[in-house]
Amino acid sequence: MQAIVYERYGNPDVLELREIEKPAPKDNEVLVQIQAASLNAYDMHFLQGDPFFLRLMGSGVFKPKITRLGADIAGRVEAVGKDVTQLKPGDEVFGCITGSGSGGFAEYVAVREKELTLKPANQSFEEAAAVPMAALTALQGLRDLGQIGAGKKVLINGASGGVGTFAIQLAKYFGAEVTAVCSTRNVEQARSLGADYVLDYTKEDFTKNGQTYDLVFAANGYRSIFDYQRALSPQGIFVLAGGSMKQFFQNALLGPRLSEDGGRKFLGFMARIKQADMLFLKQLIEAGKVKSLIDRRYPLSETAEAMRYLGAGHAKGKIVLTVAHPNQ
């Protein structure tokens, strides 16, 4: 089978399309014929080996131990191990496969059954592949950390990317009043997703206009934690879900000090892959409450170019790889 492989850390030029052995599923695994995969900042971090602590945590200090990228996939089940009980050959599935070591930028992958969910019936494979990591990040950040609810005033910074576009829709589903922050070219997109107010950051600084919010969700946007502090109401919650490593470290170091008993809270997190949350998202998608926005599609052979576009930081929604199979 064909797969994208890299043997040294670096920019997308180190990615190669190679012919490798097709995997066989273990007893608790499912073999998926991949139809589409989506790109995440997660993939870029592992490609570059940056931040360095990823290397120290097991990805390989000098060169990558796991040489395959691709966390989010959608495809068809081709075979199952003897202990698999929920899925069968022919099922159309989607999921985030980081627990199986990723490897979604390929024609096939063998993953644990619990990492897969039946694909929403009203989505294409490309649309389904765009969901898992970004939508889980938005859902868990808003609901579990941000304590979102009806009538809450929520600001979403970085509202035009993969996480941000899902965050707008989910915040509206939970009944919040949503202010989206994005660039001029993405204003209409944010409105179309349901944002009540849209701030163009090239024209207005939300940290200096005097408005405060019950929840500030940073899907991206390179701002200091002190900037976000000015935008929080007295009991407001700040949730950092995306941005630069500098922001994550600043939030980890200063967030606990700035958090107050009964007052403002500064939180950061990484999404956890939970099948219950994937099922919840599937139900919302099938009910028409949430949809995927795809900016660009690339064939598997152009993965390096897709990663370069991801690294530029201007995607409007998600970037997707389509995987062609000779027998289709």
Q: Give 136-162 pLDDT, tens digit per residue.
A: 999 999 999 999 999 999 999 999 999
What residues have CB less than 8 Å from 303, skipping those under 6 apart? 4, 12, 15, 17, 105, 321
Handedness of CA 197, 202, 208, 214 (dihedral sign): positive
Hey, what CATH topology would domain 2-131+292-322 get? Quinone Oxidoreductase; Chain A, domain 1 (3.90.180)
Distance (Å, rounded) from C-alpha 174 to C-alpha 59?
37
What is this structure's pTM?
Answer: 0.94
Mean pLDDT score of the chain, rounded to an integer? 94
Q: Please give the Cα distance from 328 to 320 (Å, whole number).
A: 19
| 55-93 residue pLDDT tens | 767 778 888 888 999 999 999 999 999 999 999 999 999
Q: Say how far apart CA 240 and CA 243 lie, in whole Å.
A: 8
Rounded to 5°, angle at Cα 116 from 26 and 105: 80
Q: Give 290 or 52, the one with higher predicted confidence.
A: 290
Question: Where along the chain do its domains lie?
Answer: 2-131+292-322, 133-268
Strand partners, 239: 217, 267
Which of the four pLDDT bands, split at 50, 70 and 90, describes residue 220? confident
Report pLDDT digits (tens) over 231-277: 999 999 999 998 777 777 788 888 888 898 889 999 988 899 999 99
CATH class of the domain whose range is 133-268: alpha beta
